[in-house]
Amino acid sequence: MTRFLFTAAFLLGATAIIWMSSSFVGSNALALSVTLLIAFAYCIGAFELFQYRQQSASLHKALNQISGPVENLNLWLEKLDGHLINPVRARIEGQNSGLPAPLITPYLIGLLVMLGLLGTFLGMVDTLKGAVTALEGTTELQAIRAGLAAPIQGLGLAFGTSVAGVAASAMLGLMSTLSRKERIAYTEQLDSQITKAFKNFSLAHNKQQTYNALQVQATALPDVADKLNVLADKLVTMSANIEQSLTAQQQAFHESVSANYSELANSIDASLKQTLAESGKLAGENIKPIIQNMMAEIKAETSNTHQTLNNTVQQQLSELRSNWQQQQLEHDQAKLQQWTENFEQLNLAANQQFTSASQQLVEELKQVTTSQKETVQSIASEFANSSASLNEQWQQANQQTREQQQAITHSLNSSSEKLSEQLSAHAANTIAQITQLIASSEQLVASRSQSEQQWLSDYRQQAEQQYQQLNQQLGANAQQNLEQMNQLLASAEQIIHSRAAAEQHWLSQHQQRADELSEQLAEQLSSNTQQNLAQISSLVASTEELVKTRSDSESQWLSSFEQRLNNISETLSNSLSSLREDEAQRGQAAIARLAELESKVTEHLNVLGQGLEQPMTELIALASKTPKAAAEVIEQLRDQVAKNIERENNLLEERNGIMLELDKLSASLVASSSEQQAAITQLVQASEQMLEKVGEQFQQQVQQQVSSLADTSVEFSGNAVEMASMAEAFNQAVQRFDESNSGLIENLNSIENSLNQSSQRSDEQLAYYVAQARDIIDHSIVSQKAMFDEIRGLGKNTSNAEAEVA
């Protein structure tokens, strides 16, 4: 129906214009030209309304094709005319904006009436001029009538332009009204579909969904709080379990250390017994040939003396047999009896002296063994005291580490409690927490290394003191044994000189006793020396096990330290990647916000231009000066808008440059972190190789010293110097191991310092770039605010100009 009326109105207006223009053909060229101008304006208005109706038809067609909720708004908007896409989108999204209306047609409706009146006025001027000339040209009534008839007839033709203009204006207004009515109907249909098919794209629906989501989130917050409480409880239990496990491990370590020290004391006791046995055996073996030689000499002397006595007695008997046989016999018998009695007394005295000397020797040996046992017990007690002191020191160090671990667990608990409050904090807070955690871990590692270094230094000093005491005691015991052996040799020599006049029978018996005694002494000394060698070998084995356990603990500490460094590097890389993603998202959000602001500014400027254009047309119709002012205002607005657009483009370019710099910085940070991780791995590998080399060298040196100890154990008399050299070599090896360990710790500390410095530099660079980005964003916001203020000021100026013109 609307289409039919629109076509009928267009045909009526065109018919009126054609009818009037045909009446002017050949009679009045001025009226014909004005009528043709009216026809041209009418055609322009009709063409604009035709395009307007086509836009409305595309909207009506797209609305009729809707059968359910629209899933893709952009795909549906592509069906509309290009001039309707943005207004329809804004109306669907909830903005109270109207659809575009005809711009030239309202002006043309008034222009057509004005053109008709202009033709009428020109015709009247021409007619009146002809009447004036007719009245002034003659005084006859008939001639005046004839002269006035032609102008009056032309006056009727002049009013024909008014008829054409008014008819064209009326039909064009009717066509515009019909088009607007059609557009309003389609707009109402669109508004009805906004709450149905376009419900998901409306602002009110999104607000309702947001409100519902907030309600759901508010209902879910107690569950989240409960889960956080459960998580906090789990963390507390985890920390308690960790503390229990650490306590159990420390207790097991104490037990193993105490067991190792007890084994060390036992091995030292056995080694001392073995060394004493070997020294006794060597002394018995050394004494045995001397005693045998002395006994052989005594036997030879006694046999010689016995032979000489027999010879002298036989000579005396042969000499005195002849004279005083009976007297001499009696006298000789008395002398022989006296001599035998004296000899028996001497024999008894010698036996008593030898038994007393042997008993004295046995008692002295017992005293030596008791003194050695006392020294061994004192050494064992000193080792027990040292082990107790070391255990106390280790317990103190463990207590310190336990306190540090408790502090760490307490900080973890506090951080877990504050986790729900710090979910929306900035990335700088996370970086600060990471740096604090790294500092606490570094302090923990430093305190741990200091405690271990202190423990190592104390243990080394105590081991050196004990080793020196052991050497001194061994040297003193060896010197005492030598002195006692010398005394025994002196007493044996005295006994041998006193027994020079004993009989062969007494010599044989006592020689057997001496052989048995020497064999017993040799067996005791050999057993003692074997025990001492066994104790020394067990002592060396325990020292090797202690070194091995120490190297294992050092390797475990290095592995744990490497794992901590890897964890720190991973946390740093994750935090940097999350920070880079956040910065990228913020940059994209800022770019999107700037694009939205630019689109809104352009829409606002379009709306402002559309709103200003109609009053400008009215001002053009009212006065000739106001269009110039309006054109100047529009030009100023366009210039300012162009400047603002250029400024925004420059800001966008700067923002893109900053984002590129941030990407480069993040890439450089990732590369530096990867390089640092590679350097750390290389350093850890080098340290492992160094420790392996040091351990191998230490084992080689220990093996060499053990072999040298085994070689030198054959001759115990000269092992004091070799033991001293072995102690010096052992001390040198320990010093080399300590130096290598201290060098490794210094290298690790330097690496930690370099890592801290690099992280501080990266944090400073990030802070600088973030501050620069904030400055740029603030600058863009200030410039946009200034632009809006200028636009508002221009709007106020235009309103003031309209008020003045009105």
The predicted model scores a pTM of 0.30
Question: Do 135 and 152 have their domain in common?
Answer: yes
143 within a domain of the structure (yes/no)? yes
Question: Do 567 and 433 have their domain in common?
Answer: yes
pLDDT of residue 599: 65
pLDDT category, 213, cuts 50, 70, 90?
A: confident
Q: Measured between alpha carbons, how far is residue 486 from residues 55, 361, 481, 482, 715 in Å?
A: 135, 12, 8, 6, 18
Return the amino acid letter for 615: P
pLDDT of residue 43: 92
Return the amino acid letter for 297: E
329 within a domain of the structure (yes/no)? no
Question: Do 217 and 172 have their domain in common?
Answer: no
Which of 170, 201, 232 is at the close of a domain?
201
37 or 524, higher pLDDT: 37
Question: Do 396 and 446 have their domain in common?
Answer: yes
Is residue 423 scored above 50 in pLDDT? no
Residue 554: CB atoms within 10 A of its CB come to 19
CB 769 within 8 A of CB 662: yes
Cα gap 476→19, rounded to integer Å: 152
Cα gap 36→657, rounded to integer Å: 60
pLDDT of residue 116: 81
In the numeric block, the tokens 């603030």 are attached to: 778
Cα gap 372→785, rounded to integer Å: 100
Question: Do 213 and 270 have their domain in common?
Answer: yes
418 within a domain of the structure (yes/no)? no
**How many residues are recorded in the chain?**
806
227 within a domain of the structure (yes/no)? yes
417 within a domain of the structure (yes/no)? no
User: How many separate domains does the chain show?
Assistant: 2
764 within a domain of the structure (yes/no)? yes
331 within a domain of the structure (yes/no)? no
Is residue 150 scored above 70 in pLDDT? no
Q: What is the pLDDT of residues 759-783, one digit of tens each?
A: 677 677 667 766 766 777 677 677 6
Question: Do 511 and 447 have their domain in common?
Answer: yes
pLDDT of residue 236: 77
CB 40 within 8 A of CB 114: no
Which of 179, 201, 223 is at the close of a domain?
201
Is residue 164 scored above 50 in pLDDT? yes
Question: Do 217 and 152 have their domain in common?
Answer: no
pLDDT of residue 416: 45
Q: What is the pLDDT of residues 236-269, one digit of tens each?
A: 787 778 778 777 776 777 677 677 767 766 776 6
326 within a domain of the structure (yes/no)? no
Domain range enclosing 85:
2-201
556 or 45, higher pLDDT: 45
Q: Measured between alpha carbons, how far is residue 123 from residues 41, 117, 131, 168 in Å?
A: 20, 10, 12, 19
CB 49 within 8 A of CB 175: yes
Cα gap 713→278, rounded to integer Å: 8
Question: Do 558 and 680 have their domain in common?
Answer: yes
Question: Do 192 and 217 have their domain in common?
Answer: no
Question: Do 159 and 233 have their domain in common?
Answer: no
Task: Give residue 26's region: left, alpha or beta (phi > 0; psi -120 to 50).
Answer: left
Virtual torsion, Cα 297, 300, 301, 307, nearest 10 deg: 180
Question: Do 373 and 518 have their domain in common?
Answer: yes
At 542, list the tokens: 């325990």
Question: Is the CA virtual torsion 502, 504, 509, 514 positive or negative?
Answer: positive
DSSP, residue by residue, 17-73: HHHHHHHTTTT-HHHHHHHHHHHHHHHHHHHHHHHHHHHHHHHHHHHHT--S--S-H
Is residue 424 scored above 60 in pLDDT? no
127-141, 712-726, 786-800, range with the lowest pLDDT: 712-726
Is residue 17 scored above 80 in pLDDT? yes
Q: Report, as an integer, the average pLDDT of 316-331.
A: 58
Question: Do 561 and 441 have their domain in common?
Answer: yes
Cα gap 756→474, rounded to integer Å: 53
Which of 201, 230, 260 is at the close of a domain?
201
E strand residue ranges, 219-347: none
Q: What is the pLDDT of residues 57-73, one digit of tens each?
A: 888 888 787 777 777 77
CB 108 within 8 A of CB 41: yes
HSE (side-chain half, CA atoms, 13 Å) at 70: 25
